[in-house]
Amino acid sequence: MTPTRKVAVIYATEQGSTRDIAEFVAADLADRGAEVHLREVGYAPGLAGFDMVILGSAIHNMDFLPAAVDYIGRNRAELAATDVRLFGVGLGPALRGPVGRRIGRVVPEKIAALRDAVHARDYRLSCLRRGLRASWRIPEGTNALPSHGRWPLR
């Protein structure tokens, strides 16, 4: 039997969209058997004992919120030694047409530096305005992330 993975889902939000996505990701991981600890960045647990950390932040001025940047700075060594995944919530994915497709593929410089500093295995950009279902490619009529939208629990 595979041991249960212990996952911290940590988020920084200003208006609640990032919290909504963090809650959705946490529920999906829990449904797949992970022991999930969901916390706002100011109340984040110590990282010892976690197999994976998923950290999300709203994006303002092409950067994570100051609380998320500070958290990464204070915990850089521990995060770099852990399986880290990042997600950002911003306007980019809501844009349509060729400009939206181009912007959606670009990782802002400051976020790329944070990603690289903690050796994050993945970075995803979402936009709740366009809809959680659209940005994470969730089929209508289901509340689960499809396999291509999930972070693996290995």
Helix boundaries (H) for 36-85:
66-74, 76-80
Considering the domain boundaries, does residue 74 fall inside one?
A: yes
CATH number of domain containing 109: 3.40.50.360
Considering the domain boundaries, does residue 154 fall inside one?
A: no
Q: How far is CA 115 from the centre of its chain?
A: 11
Considering the domain boundaries, does residue 94 fall inside one?
A: yes
Place of tokens 């529920």: 27
Task: List the domain range (segments joined by +) for residue 65.
Answer: 6-149
Kindly give the confidence (pLDDT) of every residue in the chain, 154 residues in length, as a single tens digit, with 9 standing for 90 and above.
466 899 999 999 998 888 988 988 898 899 889 999 999 999 999 999 999 999 999 988 889 999 999 999 999 999 999 999 999 887 665 555 666 566 666 788 999 999 999 999 988 877 654 445 444 554 454 444 444 456 677 6
Q: In total, how many domains does the chain have?
A: 1
Considering the domain boundaries, does residue 119 fall inside one?
A: yes
Q: Where are the beta strands (DSSP E) in the chain?
A: 6-12, 35-40, 52-60, 63-64, 83-89, 122-126
Query: What's the pLDDT at 28?
Result: 87
Query: What's the pLDDT at 92?
Result: 60
Considering the domain boundaries, does residue 1 fall inside one?
A: no
Query: What's the pLDDT at 81?
Result: 95
pTM of the model: 0.81
